[in-house]
């Protein structure tokens, strides 16, 4: 069991007092400046709005329109700089100092709440303590992550630690290889590779009641992030074969295909399907967005039912995740991996011009839910139909599946082992809303522990 909660230190209580005081100072100084020169401040705000609008317009258009938008954005940016630097009284220094003060307030608040990486690394990793593995095996995809397994010499590291390394090579039946190895009496299965490979090993581990170890040797390693692992510490993840902690993690299913992250339909599937995607992910995404989100594009033939029972016959994007992603500002990770719920997000841009730009602006502000065509909810099961085969992005891999698509959370979760030095919390689990953060800061000031205190 985890250690009991302890009272926050004096330094954290001091930080809890300093953070809101710094914020208050910044607010007062800003209000004084606005009162002294309201017209100049209004001009700066107007230029900033033009810059944001032009930037998102550039992302959703092509050719001359995109080039024009880029020029407008650059002009607006220069205008903001000139307006700030040209004002009397050295306002540029004032703005810089206020930005520094805001940054310091955030850092102090994170420290006070105990949510910084350093604080969590020093605390006990959440989970159930378990003894070291006696017959551990690690499967490796040497091609994943541009050869991370080879660069970090994982075969040698495994042999040094008494872990059996098994390299999965082209031409092998990977799933059968995992099943055969798991049947030899091993007590821990591990995978060094991308999230698709993690799902494969997780499937076998859940079926046999074995724990698994996630080694972040893929490209993006979203699963490792959501489990609270350090994605840059590939070798350190092997410590989970020693004395470690265990957490349960749900496995999601799409027509018999297990996934640990998400299934994307519509826009993302169209991007991943591009033959240029793997070699130039960012460039391909930017080049494809205007084509699939432009004002004249029709939604994809994706039919589904929303929670209120309404039937929908088209969407530009549907994403179904194994457990829901965080709320506004934290959608890049999932707070928990054991809620037994799918997270569903749908996007319909509508026929109006500027729909894509409006959505992207709302998403950039951290509030995609403010766009009328955006919906999100949780459910244990979800179904999508269509008039023909559906392009699917499953944990980043593209495939085509005949409808209907039936998605659900599998009844048996998998036990995941984490090293005792892991943070154990995803970014979304560590994120706090404004009201919640202020309430917890007040609790720290009073000397009461937070959820991250051990």
What are the tens digits of pLDDT across the range 380-421? Answer: 999 999 999 999 989 878 899 999 999 999 999 999 999 999
Based on the domain organization, do 375 and 236 belong to the same domain? no
Based on the domain organization, do 355 and 297 belong to the same domain? yes
Report the CATH number at residue 160: 3.40.50.10330
CA 213, distance to chain mean position in Å, is 20
Based on the domain organization, do 21 and 115 belong to the same domain? yes
Report how many domains make up the chain: 3
Is pLDDT above 90 for 370?
Answer: no
Based on the domain organization, do 114 and 148 belong to the same domain? no
Based on the domain organization, do 137 and 237 belong to the same domain? yes
Summarize the confidence of residues 65-88 as an average pLDDT: 73
Based on the domain organization, do 177 and 156 belong to the same domain? yes
State the residue range of the domain holding 33.
Answer: 10-123+429-445
Summarize the confidence of residues 187-201 as an average pLDDT: 95
Q: Rounded to whole angstroms, how far apart are CA atoms 350 and 316?
A: 9
Based on the domain organization, do 104 and 148 belong to the same domain? no
Q: Is 4 part of any domain?
A: no
Q: Rounded to whole angstroms, how far apart are CA atoms 206 and 258?
A: 11
Give the per-residue pLDDT at 414. Answer: 98
Q: Is 2 part of any domain?
A: no
What are the tens digits of pLDDT across the range 272-318? Answer: 665 554 444 444 444 555 555 666 667 899 999 999 999 999 998 89
Based on the domain organization, do 423 and 433 belong to the same domain? no
Q: Is 46 part of any domain?
A: yes
Q: Is 47 part of any domain?
A: yes
Q: Rounded to whole angstroms, how far apart are CA atoms 123 and 9?
A: 13
Nearest to 261, CA basis, from 227, 224, 222, 228? 222
Q: Is 147 part of any domain?
A: yes
What are the tens digits of pLDDT across the range 141-177? Answer: 988 888 899 999 999 999 999 999 999 998 899 999 9
Give the per-residue pLDDT at 449. Answer: 76
- Order the strands of the 374-379 sheet from edge to edge: 374-379, 342-347, 317-322, 262-266, 390-394, 397-401
Based on the domain organization, do 392 and 271 belong to the same domain? yes
Give the per-residue pLDDT at 66. Answer: 67
CB atoms within 10 A of CB 50: 17
Q: Is 452 part of any domain?
A: no
Based on the domain organization, do 139 and 223 belong to the same domain? yes
Mean pLDDT is lowest, of 54-68, 300-314, 322-336, for: 54-68
Q: Is 281 part of any domain?
A: yes
Q: Which residue has the higher pLDDT, 26 or 90?
A: 26
Summarize the confidence of residues 72-89 as an average pLDDT: 71
> b vs e for 254-284, b when ≥16 Cβ sit within 10 Å of the residue's Cβ?
beebbbbbbbbbbbbbbbbebeebeeebeeb
Based on the domain organization, do 142 and 110 belong to the same domain? no
Give the per-residue pLDDT at 173. Answer: 94
């Amino acid at each position: 069991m985890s250690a009991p909660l302890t009272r926050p230190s004096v330094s954290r209580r001091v930080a809890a007092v300093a953070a809101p005081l710094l914020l208050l100072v910044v607010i007062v100084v800003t209000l004084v400046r606005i009162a002294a020169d309201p017209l100049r401040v209004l001009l700066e705000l107007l230029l900033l709005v033009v810059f944001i609008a032009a930037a998102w317009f550039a992302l959703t258009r092509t050719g001359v329109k995109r080039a024009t938008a880029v020029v407008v954005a650059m002009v607006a940016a220069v205008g903001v700089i000139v307006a700030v630097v040209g004002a009397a009284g050295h306002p540029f220094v004032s703005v810089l100092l206020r930005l520094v003060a805001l940054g310091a307030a955030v850092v102090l608040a994170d420290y006070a709440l105990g949510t910084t990486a350093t604080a969590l690394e020093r605390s006990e990793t959440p989970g159930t303590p378990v003894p070291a593995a006696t017959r551990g095996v690690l499967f490796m995809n040497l091609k994943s992550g541009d050869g991370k397994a080879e660069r970090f010499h994982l075969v040698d590291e495994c042999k040094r630690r008494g872990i059996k390394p098994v390299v999965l090579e082209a031409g092998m039946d990977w799933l059968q290889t995992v099943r055969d190895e798991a049947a030899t009496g091993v007590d821990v299965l591990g995978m060094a590779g991308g999230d698709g490979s993690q799902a494969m090993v997780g499937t076998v581990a859940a079926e046999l009641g074995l724990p698994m170890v996630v080694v972040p040797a893929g490209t993006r390693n979203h699963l490792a992030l959501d489990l609270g692992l350090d994605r840059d510490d590939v070798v350190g993840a092997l410590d989970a074969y020693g004395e470690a902690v265990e957490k349960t993690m749900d496995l999601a299913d799409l027509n018999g295909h297990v996934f640990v992250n998400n299934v994307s339909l519509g826009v993302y599937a169209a991007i991943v399907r591009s033959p240029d995607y793997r070699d130039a992910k960012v460039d391909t995404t930017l080049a494809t967005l205007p084509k699939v989100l432009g004002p004249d594009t029709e939604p994809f033939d994706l039919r589904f039912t929303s929670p209120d029972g309404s039937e929908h016959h088209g969407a530009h994007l549907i994403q179904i995740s194994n457990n829901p992603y965080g709320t506004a500002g934290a959608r890049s990770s999932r707070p928990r991996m054991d809620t037994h719920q799918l997270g569903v997000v749908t996007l319909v841009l509508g026929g109006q011009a500027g729909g894509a730009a409006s959505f992207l602006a709302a998403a950039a502000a951290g509030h995609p839910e403010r766009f009328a065509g955006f919906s999100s909810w949780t459910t244990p099961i979800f179904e999508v139909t269509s008039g023909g085969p559906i392009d699917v992005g499953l944990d980043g891999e593209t495939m085509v599946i005949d409808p209907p698509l039936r998605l659900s959370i599998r009844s048996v979760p998998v036990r995941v082992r984490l090293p005792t030095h892991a943070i154990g919390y995803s970014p979304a689990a560590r994120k706090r809303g404004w009201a919640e953060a202020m309430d917890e800061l007040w609790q720290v000031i009073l000397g009461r522990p937070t959820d991250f205190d051990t």
